[in-house]
Structure 1
């Protein structure tokens, strides 16, 4: 807690937004809670309120990030359709990050709920390892388990050629689903 004084929720949310805007690395909810002298659940609520107030905050498996536009360069984006088992998840993600591709999210089309999406923001093998560890620790299912392994990734790279090369590598492994 700053200066040992208790601050109100509005001031805490402002400080959280400022901190996320300044940091380049994701910030864990538990660390934010400790820093502000509140529970992790309070931070989750604060983040929800900030998102409702149109702050571009994304919750990822690595923590919270401020999704700022990249003014330095235009990035190429695309959507890739894949299918694989849970055991092959890390291999698929490593192929993408090894090609210099940021995996922004995973999306499935559910019969009752429509489109379901989870924010990933995976850009390195270290991120893949952390995500795989989290999935194993939580004994979590893949969203793709709802669709017999079929899922989409929104991806970003410096150029379209990078995305195409990553898609070719996925195709070689049998993970790419072509339309």
Structure 2
């Protein structure tokens, strides 16, 4: 398969899947190395395709419906509780942003929509620190809320647990 065909296949595969697809998995399906897939994705992104890298793999970025930005504050050990609170309200965590004094705004895609995905993310944090540690626990999340009632429910739950930054 030629490079252009391979990139087209990657785009079709990502658009057909709702879950993130790892570079290793895509490489196995294509019969190429992981590094080839990483390079192909870089070329696709440079060409304007909305391929987003998440901690669990690549996804095609779609404009979020019902996107809500919230300022949050908590200790590092409360990350899982915060994520559970959000997904238990039927919402998803699109990303996290912190303001760094040297680098400015740092944003990382999360794409967490279930307790299982929250567990997987927190497991990966075991060997490192979450971004909120750079800012004494203060950070922003973009949430995906399917309806206004979901939005109200998640804001109330986060406030009740003391996670909302005021």
Report the TM-score when normalising by structure 1: 0.87
State the match for 1:132 in structure 2. Answer: 122
State the match for 2:74 in structure 1. Answer: 84
User: Hey, which bits of structure 1, 4+ residues long, moved more than 4 A?
Assistant: none
1:24-103, aligned counterparts within 5 Å?
24-69=18-63, 75-103=65-93
Q: CA deviation at 1:152?
A: 0.2
d(CA) in 1 for partners of 2:134 and 2:119?
23
RMSD of aligned C-alpha atoms? 1.5
Q: CA deviation at 1:38?
A: 2.1
State the match for 2:94 in structure 1. Answer: 104
Is there any run of 5+ residues in structure 2 with no aligned partner, and where? none
State the match for 2:139 in structure 1. Answer: 151
Q: Secondary structure at the match of 1:141?
A: coil
d(CA) in 2 for partners of 1:110 and 1:69?
26
Q: CA deviation at 1:33?
A: 1.2
Deviations 1:64-100 (A, max 9, x none): 1112357xxxx32211111112211010000000001
d(CA) in 1 for partners of 2:137 and 2:34?
32
Q: CA deviation at 1:161?
A: 2.9
Q: CA deviation at 1:37?
A: 2.1
Q: CA deviation at 1:140?
A: 2.1
1:105 and 1:161, CA in 2 relative to 1: closer, same or farther beyond 3 A? same
State the match for 1:11 in structure 2. Answer: 5
Contact 1:33 1:40 in 2 (8 A): yes
Report the TM-score when normalising by structure 2: 0.93
Q: Is residue 2:21 matched to residue 1:21? A: no
- Number of aligned residue pairs: 166
